[in-house]
Structure 1
């Protein structure tokens, strides 16, 4: 199989249906491709030096006669829209992107009967036509992602899917051009090749992250992808430092390693050396660039250095004031940094800012602020009233995307309803959010953070009299996570089994059972009891009727892949050099539960238990509360 087939594994598609039937007017002469590329690079430098308006103005001038100016102007408007989420900016970006697509369409090669009869000869295309095909696919992707924000209904969702498919076909065509064209007379092959590898790599990487049930559907409609190909192509673009789109590959690689891996329970797969290399290079070039200062803060965060992370986030926010929406993203991260350090009063400041200023998810912001109040001792009367008002407002702030509610907002609404039904009380709701938002991957990086978290759980348990069974299950799940990550597997297993034994007593927080089951499966996987782990994952996968179901399915998918990797290493005789120390996630549907858990399976003298570096007595020495 050649390289082309290795990247696009699906059946050949005819691109004729995508070729310019709706292109407005006659192709413009425009400015030269060389000038367009030069000014695009200049605009990128302006953008990463925080001159956002300057970059947008530079691309505006020739937006209707140059494919790269059209792409740049559309991109900058798109970024502003997704940062602010203001409807006015979304509508403007949508209009600009439609105009950009129309401009680019004028420069694309028009297919005719001759092409269909004798096949395409890519050497007949001008260099501008070749680049126009690539830029067309890039603009379509941006338009697809914005379509959902324009009108959050099922029709918009379907339109976005069709645009993604159209962009995919365009990138596939570009891949053929890259490998079949004679480039000896072209000046700008490196920019085209970088763009193609960037697009192909991004499609492959993101699609490979989807659970099996989704990827099977995607393959049915013509998509196919592998992570290995995705990373290979993205790295090829990143290593080509003279390529116009090298900066984009840097952003995607940073986003993948610093956000996607952590949020999908694959913290150990973060390529820290690559992240450090990218950040060093970009911060040297753009020392005050808000984006790379922000990513530096995120890197400090996933390494467990939360105080340092906060300093970098503050620097990122102070480096520019043009885009308040970007500052809100930094504010969100600052909130979580305060969460991990259990600095609840500090977290309140950031939550209050988001509630008042950001429009991304008022429902989540309101719930988070109210949840923080539950962790703060000695609330004032005014604060207690504010908490009640926030919880009461949560159900009214629900949004819909693609005609469906957002899972995290559905969870917040259920918790707000539980708050009201329990006489304005929730147990450790902010710490519960830390678990559900994959926070243990951060806590495990610093034993003091984990120990502090564990002590709060123990103190809460000691202070409570007549604990409700559902509250006890939450405490056991959180304590089990602490014990597992502190190297105490036997005690962790006992806590997880305790939750499963009370499954029939859980009526509101139904997510507790499947989530605990997956955590127990992960514990057994770390102990090399792969059969039991797979059985638990299979059982958890069949459960329905609870919040955040899709999130848990991503976790099940990631854990299943780890088990396959362990089995593959065992077959090849490769030694497993270690375990990943963190996992989290979530899922949704009618729990058919009749769970009778076994007694703890891990024996202190068994071969599966000896791999842990800490014993129970070791833990007790460090933390006498255990």
Structure 2
């Protein structure tokens, strides 16, 4: 215990921290303070890229100590999602069942009609021990992890419902604990901050998820107990990330995911900024070589438009560890995009090819991306490396996978486009890469780099000229409307709002003449509405975006529904 305490107090110093874990202390007790302290050491090992050592340190007590089990189980579930390996998934499932049993044995015994809040109401808060409160939080966190595993194991609607019920039960327990936390006695212990951190993490995530979902999903979620408030969720996560508890890093990573991915994909561009970089630098001082935190730094550099520095940090991630090579794939993906943004096609191809060879996540998307990037390179290059663009496009359809009984929208889009592009024998157009940039929110990411926006605008105008000279009767209007949409987008980011609006309206005016790419019109309404909002005309923006409710059955519809929901929510709540 003394050595564990020493490790925690010296973890801010990198050299001491590295030396401290050469020998993993063997846990000998499972009282609450020791459980948290020793589990924190396991977590710190994990955050120092010592994944096997972390699991080895936690395993002896994972089925006896609630916090050992929680951290051990969380790592096992993460590895299952990382590898998509059937053996890893089954092992994670077995682990979580054991962890749930351990937590259940330590919880306050209740029944359907005698819930924890009801017992406290009848007998008083002091009737529940601090350890029982911690067991409640560890149980509900484990239940949430189990729900995620069900989604990974069972893709049927029954699996979805089972997972939803588990999430609903988790949320109800979190809500109970949040109320109880307000009335907790002052235990004068070091462990109570971990209890508060766990509640803030859980309630924060559930508020975030429920607030992000469009209204069509809410009836089902209300049935299993969901309700959410975006700002409340973000505030709780911010508080949790700024505190010092075993849950603080998870609070930070959740905030990072929201700000760096969800806002980029679904946001309006006027979201409130959180001091994410300050928090990240604080954690990096503690864990300077943590592959997850260095990756976060690379991604934040991308979002600031500093792609050159982002490349350095992402390359650093690759060299920091080699134990879980699947983590490299996240870096390959971001590096591929860094080079696409800068139109450095040879480097972009290199990372697209690595993803095709090594990652199991979405082979259809990876193959499509590689084919699209090759269209921007000389034909001689493809021949020199033994690649055939047509063959790549033809492979995409067979690589699609189902999640919860449905194909991924982005893979459906790739398959539809691949069928079209597989018939092209001589590449002289940039349409595939322009489309790829748009569906993956590339223009949103480069919007702070006016030089790159101008570079892409040149490519768009070249495409416009090609389409006018080499007309394809079947796709002529569709292709031109794509050009108009993207040209309007670039002009918007160059603050040329009036011209941008003209191009969005050109797409809308051609609605009845578009034959195949019917997604262009609803997306044009959305981009026009966001432009009006950024210009300060909120009422017109709301009317424009509400026009999209008249469109159904187009590509990437679900993504746009999410965007509409968040945009209208932000506009109507804004004072």
> TM-score, normalised to structure 2's length?
0.88
CA contact (8 A) 1:522 1:533 kept: yes
Give the drift of 1:205: 2.0
Pair 234,475 (structure 1): closer, same or farther in 2 beyond 3 Å: same
Distance (Å, rounded) in 2 between the aligned partners of 1:423 and 1:216: 49
Residues 184/100 of structure 1: CA separation in 2 closer, same or farther (3 Å cut): closer
Q: Distance in 1 between matches of 2:341 and 2:533?
A: 26
- Matching residue within 408, 420, 423 for 2:422: 420
**Greater helix content:** 2
Q: Does the CA contact (< 8 Å) of 1:373 and 1:379 recur in 2?
A: no
Tell me whether 231-240 or 332-341 shows the greater mean CA deviation: 231-240
Q: Decide which of 529, 537, 546 is 1:521's aligned counterpart.
A: 529
Is the counterpart of residue 236 in structure 1 residue 225 in structure 2? no
Partner residue of 1:360? Answer: 361
* Aligned twin of 2:86: 87
- Provide the residue aligned with 2:253 in structure 1: 251
Are 1:237 and 1:245, in contact at CA under 8 Å, matched by a contact in 2?
yes
Q: Secondary structure at the match of 1:182?
A: coil
Q: How does 1:242-391 map to 2 (within 5 A)?
A: 243-269=245-271, 271=273, 274-380=275-381, 382=383, 386-391=388-393
Aligned to 1:447: 450
Q: Are 2:489 and 1:481 aligned? A: yes
* Structure 2 partner of 1:63: 62
Conserved? CA contact 1:147–1:159, under 8 Å: yes
Q: Name the count of aligned residue pairs.
A: 537
Matches of 1:532 and 1:384, distance apart in 2? 53
Report the CA distance between 1:394 and its aligned residue. Answer: 0.8
State the partner residue of 2:37.
38
* 1:102-181 alignment runs, 5 A limit: 102-111=101-110, 119=122, 121-181=124-184
Equivalent residue of 1:102, what SS? helix
Report the secondary structure of 2:249's partner residue: helix
Q: Which has the higher contact order (CA 8 A, sep 6+)?
A: 1
User: What is the match of residue 96 of structure 2?
Assistant: 97
Q: Take 1:252 and 1:469, find their aligned partners in 2: how far apart are those partners? A: 42
Cα deviation per residue 1:143-194 (whole Å; 9 max; x = unaligned)?
1112111132222111111111121122122223312332336552111111
User: 1:21-78 deviations in whole A, cap 9, x for unaligned?
Assistant: xxxxxxxx97211111111111121111111111111110111110111111101111
Matches within 5 A, 1:184-199: 184=187, 188-199=191-202
Q: Tell me the SS of whatever aligns to 1:106.
A: helix
For the residues of structure 1 that align with 2:520 and 2:534, how far apart are their CA atoms?
A: 21
Matched residue SS, 1:375? coil
For residue 223 of structure 1, the aligned residue among 221, 226, 232 is: 226
Tell whether the 8 Å contact from 1:48 to 1:286 is kept in structure 2 after alignment: yes
1:388-467 equivalence runs, <5 A: 388-421=390-423, 427-464=430-467, 465-467=469-471
The range that moved more, 353-362 or 507-516, is 507-516
Instruction: Give the C-alpha shift of residue 429 in structure 1.
Output: 1.4
Contact 1:443–1:450 under 8 Å retained in 2: yes
Tell me the secondary structure at the aligned position of residue 388 of structure 2.
helix
Distance 1:186 1:503, change over 3 A: same
Change in 2 beyond 3 A, CA 1:378/1:390 = closer
- In the alignment, the residues of structure 1 paired with residue 213 and residue 124 of structure 2 have an alpha-carbon distance, to the nearest angstrom, of 36
Say which is worse superposed, 514-523 or 296-305, in terms of deviation: 514-523
Gaps of at least 5 residues in structure 2 are 1-27
The Cα of 1:218 is off from its aligned counterpart by 2.5
Moved more, 439-448 or 177-186: 177-186
Moved over 6 A (4+): 113-118
RMSD over aligned CA atoms reads 2.2
Partner of 1:269: helix, strand, or coil?
Answer: coil
TM-aligned CA deviation for residue 370 of structure 1: 0.9
CA contact (8 A) 2:295 2:331 kept: yes
Deviations 1:68-117 (A, max 9, x none): 11111101111111222222212221221122112211111112587778
Q: How far, CA to CA, are the matches of 1:234 and 1:469 in structure 2? A: 47
Equivalent position of 1:538 in the other structure: 546
2: CA distance, partners of 1:169 / 1:220? 12
Deviation of the 1:516 alpha carbon: 1.0
Larger mean Cα displacement after TM superposition, 124-133 or 42-51: 124-133
Query: Structure 1-normalised TM-score?
Result: 0.82
Q: Which moved more, 1:446-455 or 1:258-267?
A: 258-267
Name the structure 2 match of 1:607: none
- The Cα of 1:341 is off from its aligned counterpart by 0.8
In the alignment, the residues of structure 1 paired with residue 207 and residue 114 of structure 2 have an alpha-carbon distance, to the nearest angstrom, of: 33
Q: Which runs of 5+ in 1 are unaligned?
A: 1-28, 569-626
